[in-house]
Chain A
Amino acid sequence: MNYVIAIPLIPALAFAILAPLSGRSRNAAVPIAVGASVITLGLSIAAFLAVWPGGHEEALYHTSITFATIGSVKLAAGILLDPISATMLVVVTLVGAAVQVYSLGYMHRDERIGWYYAVLSLFTAAMLGLVLSDNFLQLYMAWEVMGLCSYLLIGFWHEQEAPRKASIKAFLTTRVGDIGFALALAVMYKTAGSFDFAVVLHDFAWAPGAATAVALLLLFGAMGKSAQVPLHVWLPDAMAGPTPASALIHAATMVAAGVFLVARALPIFEASGVALTVTMFVGITTALVGGLLASVQHDIKKVLAYSTISQLGYMFVALGAGGIVAGFYHLVTHAFFKSLLFLGAGVIIHAAHTQDMREMGGLAKKMPVTTVTFTIGSLALAGIFPFSGFWSKDEILTVLWHGEHYVVFVLALVAAFVTAFYVARLWFRVFSGPEQTSGLKEAHVEMLVPMSVLAAVTSVIGFGSPYFAEFLGHVGEWPAAAIALTSTAVAGLGLALGWWAYGRRNQVLNTRPLKSRAGFVYAALAQKLYFDLTYDYFIVRQYGRLAGALSEFDRTVVDGIVNGAGAIWRAGADVGALIDRVVIDGAVNGVATLVRAVGARVRRIQTGRVQSYQALMLAALVVLMLWFVVKGA
């Protein structure tokens, strides 16, 4: 089983080979990266198949290496192969390989394609290192490296203003969450004395107070990475990056890392209790906000981005209800169908030369493969039988129902309805109606094959849902008819509304009266519920002003106080008024001036004439002798 170690190392090696090369030879080395991703996929499937028969609770393979020793504490990096990590392996490498192959077609004209592949490889390595981690520290480190890759890929086309800004925004927003994660590690280390899953999650008995602290801090970290309200603002902007990168990082894997973290740490959340409720609350809020915002976007990628936010919220809801299987299963299905949708969106954007859905239409006739695969993805997202999204969403609803979270259950249904609505809105705008672009044609084959693979996966994995639950060590059940019918009905209703508004031939719904009647609501949605504006105004700008003010403060006051040595004590009483630059400089130069003044007087003695020195000596001698005489007498 030692080949498991190689799984994260192979893409890392690909990065190490590609990164130091010069631009042109790096571009030529792209096949290395693609090959690495395919090999990793093979190894991952092998590892998954090895875990599949039976190995439920116990890890099948576990190894670790110490990288830091502090007294008796050893910090180690480890590889832990259990059902959860094995599943994640396949998800990450399958989507990763699909994206890498797809990018051969999508990015082939870009002059920095080599760098793109290098970063993709590093990302894959970090993500695999994260899912295989056997401790929270390694998880955190891989987590941050992924953040770097996300930053680099969002800002890939950095010559333009928007990607540059979006990349910084993404990095800083997720890092706000990371403060929580880092502090969670500190609390964990102080209370449990370790970062290892084996100790923290199994052996250590958590007191509710400490558990709540750690769980909420971890949740905060997860909210940053998984774009949960109110830290979701970076994800829609992150769409400025290349579309396949969005498919991998901002839809399937990295953003799901937060969910993965909470799923891993679920025993701590359960020990706390409160933290579970908070998780559910955050999740359902995000699911609704994301869904509503997705419904008013015109940019196809932004619709998908908000949809991702909303679906991640769904996963948090499931975890908050204690349904690790449901949440985790939705993570898996969502990874496949959402990356499929993003890859499809990439094809659509290439063909239509725009991201604005209002300028698209009629793609179905010219692009059959894309249409079919995209439709499969859409139906999965809407939650229609038999596609994967139906099964996982159903499990989440079941968990909520059995957990007697009825309010959340209803809200989740509302979110499902909204989801179906914006899916229909997207689909009809893009694929039906009159053609608005000339020269539409189907994409390259290396783009279509990965999409077809993902579509096939999306179509069939739903039927594995009860087996998957058993694989994770829980009781597997087929969906209960009542809940399945309810959710299908709600989804169908949403699709129907979407069709009524956007899909009817000749008659696209005129939304103007609606907008004018509910002006405030619409304005709020169009302004992304004011999150961005609030942050920009109250945090970003204020920080800039504060920094400027502090800089002035430093230049005048602090420098002044320090320079004016004695002034320190006085300063406490009247900072600002008394201590200005004049006083300070005076004090600084005071010492020098004093020395100089003394020197100016003393120098007069130094005439440079030998004889005046002699006279001085004589005089001194006489005085000395007089002294002796007087004293002697």
Chain B
Amino acid sequence: MSSTTPLLELDGIGKFYGNIIALQDVSTAVSAGKVTCVLGDNGAGKSTFIKILAGVHQHDAGRFLLEGNEVRFDSPREALDSGIAAVYQDLAMVPLMSVWRNFFLGTEPTKGIGPFKWIDTKKAKRIAKEEMAKMGIDIRDTEQPVGTLSGGERQSVAIARAVYFGAKVLILDEPTSALGVKQSGVVLKYIVEAAKRGLGVIFITHNPNHAYPVGDRFLILNRGQSMGSFQKDEITVTELTQLMAGGAELEQLQKDLEDAIASKGVED
């Protein structure tokens, strides 16, 4: 891969549900070892964006380039096979199943001949434990059900899983939204860790304070429209926040809020 070709490139991507425009004319790029942050308020089209990348939905307009070649995924499996792994907000984990089973779910290592194949549980447990250790998490008992782990630990299982299965591009959907301050910091550390290991990371969030420290490139979405894609040196965290809420709209909102407070004072 030449350094000039980004790992993944989107050019004018659009998605329509009937007459509703969910996403229109969105362009950005993800390079190996870099973190691209996708920011947007609720309803900005972040979910649609991630689902197109992960192969759950298909784009209706624009071009989707993977290592310079135009692609189109019909299923999450295809996207996974091409090296695009998504870690969803709801984590794609089965709470009642053990850590190692969740880690290898869908791609279990097997032993045996022909139709008589069984899971190599010993290997699976060992790898799950080692991979978690590489992310700096010590899962003591891989037989523990995932439902008993904390939110941050679950995130780490999901990220370690994606990294282990040879993901080239890792998509993280709001990984910090349900976490406390400390746990969020831990997850942000994993994001940097994953990028250091040569992955292209797409970090989707509505919190610019989480995005700015780790991001190399920022794509801002608002109401299904791209508000621009910026390098880190082109933008500050304040501008980021402004753009996210839609600049002018935010000013309008501020004015409305002031009016409301003023009128409240009159009524009193």
The answer to whether A and B come from one shared complex is no
